[in-house]
Amino acid sequence: MIKTPTKFIALLSVAAFLMSSAFAQGVTTAPVGYVTTSAANGVDAKFGISMERAALLAANVDSVVAGVLTLSADPSAATDGDYVQFTSGALLGQWFQVSSSDATSITVVEDLASLGALASDQVKVVPFWTLSTLFGTGFPNSANIFAADAQILLNDVTTTGINLAPNRNYAYHDGTGGTLGAGWFDVNAPFPPTIQDDVIIAPNSFITIRNESGAAYELVVAGAVPVDVLNLGVVADGSLENDNLVYNPYPHAIALSTSGLESVVANSPNIFAAGDQVIVYGTPAGLNPAPSSNYAYHDGTGGTLAEGWFDVNAPFPPTIQDSVTIPAGGAFLIRKAAGSVSGNWTALIPYTL
């Protein structure tokens, strides 16, 4: 089992199991709970957010024209701080940032009709987590904005290549000293100081807590337990390897055998020369930790290995590694081999409610 600092979900509301089926009314009641992530001093703790913010509404799609969805419920409260996620249909699990809304419709930048959205699909509208809503005011304070004590590192999912570094760093200042009001600031551009509380944390990549504060830090994320699958795009490069920085989006461990990852991790016919790989992080140690384990998928042909996942670093004697688990919120990479094919990973929910 791969270990990370994220603890298993600790609470489910009894009332939350009363799931609403009244999409037309735009009302849902989701299970609620919390997950705790620990970041020891002197380490980069990588994790994904496995709890959602409460949905603003759930509705049927009445019509689709380009990027405009006409809905069965009033979506006018939706802003660009929210995303619309498909909960049925060809775009199941995919999400798109809202660009505008009115009393009957939501507009996004993408051409949803050309992507396969149809009338009768179901969607929900969910607020993004932001630096302020996720971390609140309890993050370690950086008294000197030019020398941050603890940071949140965000990934650039548009960059291609391998061993990619985060490209955005944020830290928290409590407002003392008169340099900056209480809030988050950009470590890479601390002056002139501006508040960055509303920076969006999109649900398509893990994040990193870099803790150099001198003490351990624990983040408790309370929210809605995901009840709808999340679909994450996985990008390949025609000529080079490419890392997709993803995570287990659920507050429960997922096993390789039931993760659905084989849908985007191409078969490796030769177990001694793996192509696409799942590369996972273990217990964090120090800054910029390297992943700890590499797994690839073999379809069972050729008689070398039965169908299943194998350890790229120890392919012989060949043994099935299907029971390997990625914990709640666990960060990992999907490394697409050069010339592999892009796709979408629909992360299968590992629990029932």
| Confidence band, pLDDT 50/70/90 cuts, at residue 28 | low
The four Cα atoms 274, 277, 281, 282 give a dihedral, to 10 degrees, of: -50
CA dist., res. 155 & res. 232, Å (int): 15
pLDDT digits (tens, 9 = 90+) for 112-129: 999 999 999 999 999 999
R_g of the chain, CA atoms, integer Å:
21
Report whether pLDDT(1) > 90: no
Q: Where are the alpha helices (DSSP H) in 104-175?
A: 112-115, 131-135
| Confidence band, pLDDT 50/70/90 cuts, at residue 221 | very high
Q: Which long-range contacts (CB under 8 A, 24 or more apart) does 314-321 make?
A: 315/271, 315/272, 315/274, 316/271, 316/272, 318/271, 321/256, 321/295
In the chain, % helix, strand, coil (3-state, to 5) comes to 5, 35, 60
The pLDDT value recorded for residue 3 is 41
Q: Are 117 and 123 in contact (CB under 8 A)?
A: no
Angle at 122 between CA 348 and CA 352, to 5 degrees: 35
14: three-class secondary structure by DSSP: helix
CA dist., res. 80 & res. 164, Å (int): 28
Question: Would you call the peptide bond into 192 cis, given omega within 30 degrees of 0 as the criterion?
Answer: yes
Per DSSP, 54 falls in state P
| Cα 33 versus chain centre, distance | 18
CA dist., res. 28 & res. 139, Å (int): 31
Strand pairing of 82-86 and 122-127?
A: antiparallel
Q: What is the pTM of this model?
A: 0.89
| Cα 131 versus chain centre, distance | 15
For residue 69, which of 102, 21, 45 has the smallest C-alpha distance?
A: 102
Q: Which amino acid is at 175?
A: G
The pLDDT value recorded for residue 9 is 44
Q: Tokens 């409610």 — which residue?
A: 353
Report whether pLDDT(187) > 60: yes
Q: Enter the tokens of residue 195.
A: 């508040």
C-alpha dist (Å) from residue 283 to 5, 6, 32, 268: 7, 10, 27, 27
| Confidence band, pLDDT 50/70/90 cuts, at residue 8 | very low
The pLDDT value recorded for residue 342 is 96
CA dist., res. 280 & res. 292, Å (int): 6
Q: Which amino acid is at 74?
A: D
- Residue with the bigger pLDDT between 110 and 6: it is 110
For residues 222-245, average pLDDT: 95
| Confidence band, pLDDT 50/70/90 cuts, at residue 29 | low
Per DSSP, 303 falls in state S
The pLDDT value recorded for residue 238 is 84
CA dist., res. 333 & res. 242, Å (int): 10
Report whether pLDDT(333) > 90: yes
CA dist., res. 313 & res. 2, Å (int): 15
Question: CB 233: neighbour CB atoms within 10 A?
Answer: 14
Report whether pLDDT(6) > 90: no
The pLDDT value recorded for residue 16 is 37
Strand pairing of 207-211 and 150-154?
A: antiparallel
The pLDDT value recorded for residue 178 is 81
